[in-house]
């Protein structure tokens, strides 16, 4: 076993003797626990935000990439002819993979959320919709619009990209900010634990000098501090992460279409994320305290 693995093992297994040589530190212990819990709580939200906005951005850009619609508004008698004409134009347009007129049933389904199931859609003068699936490169909307206006007077090209693209960008940015927040929370946790560890080391300078006098190695002395702060970070973060998950589970539910806010949860393997928060906090605590302890000890005679 390498020295590092042994060190990590000793953290878990515990070395009561090594722990006892440093006096207990009541108040800072509680502060560390509390801060770790608060940071873990925030971290769970940051992860949830990043994952939810990520899902949103993916869904939107996937839909974006694939489809746009042509809307045909024409008098009853010309509807079929104009639809046919528009489909012909679309079939010969470069960048259009396929074009298909929606059936009445499909159109009714689209309108249902707005008018309810009992509205006689057939009786309403609603336009016919043609769904366009683009190729990877996409078509030139300006050119298509010109050709349609020349050949199908009642056709309007509805290019979702125009209003959705900024939304996708915003969702993407939000996801990025979620991960940045997580990194900042990690950094703040490391800074907080470093400060606490340094304070504990400074408060115990007499203990350290006695230990050195009787032949303790730096790693032994550091271990006593590292073990404490790692366990505190782990315990605090476990409590904080659990509370964060409960808070997310308690968010009010809405339908699947409820959109972004109610989508703020974990799905499938993403549940591993909140579970990973406490071990990650412990790792941050271990690295930060070890660096602080060995650094401080090196400066002592």
Partner 1 sequence: MKRRRCKGAAVIELENVAYSYGGGELLSEISLTLQPGSFHFLTGPSGAGKTTLLKLCYGALVPTAGHLSLFETEVRSMTRDDIALARRRIGVVHQDCQFLDHLPVADNIALPLTVSGRDTLEQESNLKELTAWVGLSHRAHAFPPELSGGERQRAALARAVIMSPDVVLADEPTGNVDWEMSLRLLHLLAELNRMGKTIMIATHDLALIRAAKTQVQARVLRISNRRLQLAGADL
Which residues make up the interface to partner 1 (CB under 8 A)?
A: 17-18, 20-21, 23-24, 206-207, 209-220, 297-298, 301
CB of 234 to partner 1, least distance (A): 24
Least distance (Å) between residue 28 CB and partner 1? 15
What tokens does 79 get? 């509807």
- Among 297, 296, 289, smallest CA distance to 228 is for 289
* Residue placing its CB nearer to partner 1 in the complex, 108 or 212: 212
Q: Which of residues 24 and 252 has its CB atom nearest to partner 1 in the complex?
A: 24
Kindly give, in sequence order, each residue whose CB lies less than 8 Å from that of residue 210, ignoring residues fewer than 6 positions away: none
CB count in 10 Å sphere of residue 66: 13
Tell me 21's DSSP state. T
CB of 192 to partner 1, least distance (A): 26
Q: What's phi and psi for 100, nearest 5 deg?
A: -150, 135
Of residues 2 and 92, the one with the C-beta less far from partner 1: 2
Smallest distance from partner 1 to CB 22, Å: 9
For residue 183, give both structure tokens: 């990194």
Closer of 216 and 282 to partner 1 (Cβ): 216
**Of 75 and 215, CB closest to partner 1:** 215
Element housing 129 (H / E): strand 128-134
**Strands, sheet with 128-134, edge to edge from the N-terminal-most edge strand:** 96-101, 128-134, 67-72, 155-158
Q: Taking the complex as a whole, how short is the minimal distance between the CB of residue 50 and partner 1, in angstroms?
A: 43
């Amino acid at each position: 076993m390498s020295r590092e693995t042994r060190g990590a093992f000793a953290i878990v297994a515990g070395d009561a003797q090594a722990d006892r040589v440093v006096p207990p530190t009541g108040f800072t212990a509680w502060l560390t626990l509390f801060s770790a819990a608060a940071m873990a709580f925030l971290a769970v939200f940051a992860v949830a935000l990043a994952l939810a906005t990520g899902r949103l951005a993916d869904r939107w850009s996937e839909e974006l990439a694939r489809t746009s619609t042509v809307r045909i508004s024409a008098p009853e008698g010309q509807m079929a002819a104009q639809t046919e004409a528009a489909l012909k134009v679309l079939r010969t347009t470069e960048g259009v993979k396929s074009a298909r007129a929606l059936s009445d049933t499909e159109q009714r389904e689209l309108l249902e959320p707005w008018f309810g199931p009992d509205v006689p859609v057939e009786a309403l003068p609603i336009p016919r919709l043609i769904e366009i699936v683009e190729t990877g490169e996409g078509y030139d909307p300006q050119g298509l619009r010109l050709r349609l206006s020349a050949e199908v007077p009642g056709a309007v090209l509805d290019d979702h990209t125009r209003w959705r693209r900024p939304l996708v960008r915003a969702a993407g940015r939000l996801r990025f900010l979620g991960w940045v927040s997580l990194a900042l929370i990690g950094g703040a946790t490391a800074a907080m634990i470093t400060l606490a560890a340094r304070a504990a080391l400074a408060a115990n300078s007499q203990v350290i000098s006695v230990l050195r006098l009787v032949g303790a190695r730096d790693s032994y002395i550091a271990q006593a501090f590292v073990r404490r702060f790692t366990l505190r970070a782990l315990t605090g973060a476990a409590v904080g992460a659990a509370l964060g998950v409960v808070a997310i589970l308690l968010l009010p539910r809405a339908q699947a279409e409820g959109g972004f806010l109610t989508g703020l949860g974990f799905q499938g393997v993403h549940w591993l994320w909140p579970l990973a928060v406490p071990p990650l906090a412990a790792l941050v605590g271990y690295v930060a305290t070890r660096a602080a302890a060995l650094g401080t000890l090196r400066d002592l005679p």
